[in-house]
Structure 1
């Protein structure tokens, strides 16, 4: 007989009351996500200062701008980006710190707040007494730069130079485009078709390949010259011949005809199942006792699982024979890649060849005892290997199956589903740059990180839905969903016929004799006397902070030194983005 909750509850938060108060910048996106999860009639009270969100008067979230840093240092999106190093990383490709015109850290913090609330509700349903969630926009900023910070404070140096430069490229007929491939042979063949000697193209591969890690790509000028001498049809022909993926930058205005999805993820409940014995988690770690299998690569799925680790889940990584090749990616700490540690510390690894029948049988055996399976394989891989949701539900009907993809199958003309290609295709390159800056995707992995957060949010929603309905659940999230979440305000302005881009000079840091300072949004760029150092400039400004321009200095920066620690390998560790009590 169908469990009665299956009929009553289609969403994890159906029937749960929501009350929210505080600045719209801190609460509005979180409220939107909670409404999509079932809180249909929220009570919202705008205000200043701290954001507060309560669910059923049993779980409460408190959202502030500064949780780790002194409040006077971080008071809004601009100062959070400046202090945590986001301006520095985003500006690497241009040679100086630059702010993101989109509210990236506030968006991250909203998703983290929803994660904390869902985790607290799940913990309470499993017998814990968690009732309070504390988040901060500055904690979101430290999480955003965690891989870059770990690399900057590692034992050895980068494998490639950190210097200005990188895509996009501009054709003879004025089309800005991104190119993507994971194969060096394809890269060389693409540029060969545009007249670039193999030697020159080959010398650029390593810098191009590592741009995900360094947020910059100093490429030979020959590549830009070759692109500028070619028309867009010729570039597309070169891509077809070489099997590279190219994408013209799409403007926000061009996207006006494309629908805006209601939510950045999709939850699909399955048939009822009989749950195992309830395991009561530790009070402060609501996912303790739950097992997560992760078959992820790069950033998106590994970050999803990393957040679940922070909440107490046991995460088992499925790695290929020989282990994840990214374990040795420089720079290193204690013999392991600092970047890899930033995403994977605390996980257990099992080597399985999923391409073999024996390996797939081993994976199914692990799935039988797991609560969550998360992956970001290329489209069609799971179906081809017999490891899709329906296949694994036969082994474990109570499984939360999470696919963190690039496009979620929603765009027929989609290029390769990587961070920078999704940025290019969806208008992010325009939304993150104010007027006066050419539209260009950020070489900071904005969508991989935000996509990883949305993946964890979707998994937590799936676990809570499973708890309430006694059904297995499939959850789908994507880089496309991350893009839509980040640019939602810009798209709404476009829909209203307004200019979607921030005005010229928006959030532009101010140079001093020994660094840079940033002022809070709405403060205006003051006319400061010349030849001021940073301390003197801050003494004359209200609501301002020094811009972090060297990540290796953050561990000793008084604003964050108490929050940053080192793991057993010597790699820098950022704090958990929420505090649960």
Structure 2
């Protein structure tokens, strides 16, 4: 569970983990290890945090990890060369994962298993954060895996205001730029890189778009955006809120049969799947945040069933493709197995190992199938818009009647107009912290808020499961992209150059096949690389 003894210990990761555990009501004592950090959790569990864990990388700082594990490479795509990410992303992610693993082990102990320690490393956290990029880089058909072209948003208005745009549909994008006088052919050519930027971390756009924005004041631009169904977010010059608890947990009614408190008095052998073995999760989510949260819960041993529209999630078909989707199969009557079909490598990285139920939430039959699935679940995890939840019959009150004792985990953007990563970076002030010296607020195209938002959502769900075991009451937990951004804002600082002799990764495909990181990956039949669970549990 330890890596090379280099540099300083990962204190920030320990501080993040300890803060989250204490806020979850768990007693924590902090200590030092020769090569890492130690948390004594609840007086019964040792949580060890190191830089490299079981990996053979010579890393001893945040900068080393960012360099060796590809964070600088992916973040630097918009700049044309590996570039340090000016926030301790990997260390914060490791702290969240350490708290998640410890809470899961505590819950398992309360239920009668024998976990005594859990280990996680900053390097493994970084690789998990890059899971979709790593899968794309190792897919047999690498179309779009390593995109070329620098630059990208934000845009600058005539009055000097910097802003981000979000358009989730091509017609809104076309209407907005057409209103500004940009040729339709230019707008159409820009749509593909703009739409793909969440998966590629690159967004080279024609200069005509930036010039058109510079000709109009931001108030008029905001009006046009609203009329076209496009979100315009002004970039904050500095963060408004730093750190804080990234999820809100509150108790619901009495627990049902799946949430009874009171652990067995004599621990047994740990379950084979992990500390969440026996937990069933229903996931209704798109894009990155919610699916990554479900993936983390699956890596901890939970059975996760995704609800997808008829025909499957459209993101299944986004190249590059892999033949190894890794679906676990249907989790309920009417479930669909997609594992045998080719699927997007990026999608597989976030959804491998999950079951699938295809259901149309717009009709009564589909909603009935989902409600039946929820009746047998321990957790409902969703990222549905708050305005739509009640109409679908999936609000907390309604599902509590379906499944007493349910953990209701809700992931969101964090506010009106904050539905996706880059606007959240701009609004929170994170983009201002990340911008290189002398440049305006500039989000990283590495989806740091989506990734950390997914990790935070999973941590909140596990904290809720542990609280349910402890109190015997159902739990409702809420997290958001904005809360994740604020957690990162509290850990801002230029990591500088690698100081432990770490090599700078410039090719994720080469990295995934480096024997030194073999413990972090498993490979599909066609060679596509998927990141393993980042924890080591011991008894």
User: TM-score, length-normalised on structure 1?
Assistant: 0.83
Q: Report the alpha carbon displacement of residue 562 of structure 1 after superposing the two structures with TM.
A: 4.7
Residues 150 and 203, structure 2, Cα contact 8 Å, conserved in 1: yes
CA 1:387–1:293 in structure 2 vs 1: closer, same or farther (change >3 Å)? same
Partner of 2:513: 556
Distance in 1, matches of 2:191 and 2:151, equals: 14
Which one is further off, 153-162 or 104-113? 153-162
RMSD over equivalenced CA pairs, Å: 2.1
**Structure 2: unaligned runs, 5 residues or longer:** 1-7, 324-341
Q: Report the alpha carbon displacement of residue 238 of structure 1 after superposing the two structures with TM.
A: 1.8
Number of aligned residue pairs: 505
Equivalent of 1:82, from 51, 58, 67? 67
Partner of 2:395: 388
Partner of 1:203: 189
Alpha-carbon displacement from aligned partner over 1:554-576 (angstroms, at most 9, x marks no partner): 13324324533202454211221
SS of 1:380's equivalent? helix
Residues 285 and 382, structure 2, Cα contact 8 Å, conserved in 1: yes
Alpha-carbon displacement from aligned partner over 1:311-336 (angstroms, at most 9, x marks no partner): 11111110101111111110001121
Distance in 2, matches of 1:344 and 1:325, equals: 13
Partner of 1:120: 105
Distance in 2, matches of 1:126 and 1:358, equals: 36
Distance in 2, matches of 1:23 and 1:191, equals: 46
Q: Does 1:265 align with 2:242?
A: no
Distance in 1, matches of 2:168 and 2:498, equals: 40
Partner of 1:15: none
The residue correspondences of 1:93-112 to structure 2 (distance < 5 A) are 93-112=78-97
Larger Rg: 1
Equivalent of 1:36, from 23, 27, 35? 23
The residue correspondences of 1:309-320 to structure 2 (distance < 5 A) are 309-320=298-309
Alpha-carbon displacement from aligned partner over 1:69-111 (angstroms, at most 9, x marks no partner): 335x211100100001010100101111111111000000000
The residue correspondences of 1:196-345 to structure 2 (distance < 5 A) are 196-252=182-238, 255=240, 262-276=244-258, 282=271, 285-334=274-323, 335-345=342-352
Q: Does 1:480 align with 2:462?
A: no
Alpha-carbon displacement from aligned partner over 1:360-400 (angstroms, at most 9, x marks no partner): 11111111111011011123111222211111001001110
SS of 1:294's equivalent? strand
Partner of 1:536: none
Distance in 2, matches of 1:213 and 1:274, equals: 40
Q: Report the alpha carbon displacement of residue 275 of structure 1 after superposing the two structures with TM.
A: 2.1
Residues 519 and 544, structure 1, Cα contact 8 Å, conserved in 2: yes
Alpha-carbon displacement from aligned partner over 1:180-237 (angstroms, at most 9, x marks no partner): 0101000011111111112211111111000000001111111111112222122112
Q: Report the alpha carbon displacement of residue 403 of structure 1 after superposing the two structures with TM.
A: 0.6
Q: Does 1:356 align with 2:356?
A: no
CA 1:559–1:97 in structure 2 vs 1: closer, same or farther (change >3 Å)? same
CA 1:217–1:29 in structure 2 vs 1: closer, same or farther (change >3 Å)? same
**Structure 1: unaligned runs, 5 residues or longer:** 1-20, 491-500, 508-517, 521-542
Distance in 2, matches of 1:336 and 1:328, equals: 6
User: TM-score, length-normalised on structure 2?
Assistant: 0.89
Distance in 1, matches of 2:41 and 2:30, equals: 12
CA 1:206–1:28 in structure 2 vs 1: closer, same or farther (change >3 Å)? same
Q: Report the alpha carbon displacement of residue 32 of structure 1 after superposing the two structures with TM.
A: 1.1
Residues 139 and 526, structure 2, Cα contact 8 Å, conserved in 1: no
Q: Does 1:166 align with 2:166?
A: no
Q: Does 1:65 align with 2:46?
A: no
SS of 1:95's equivalent? coil
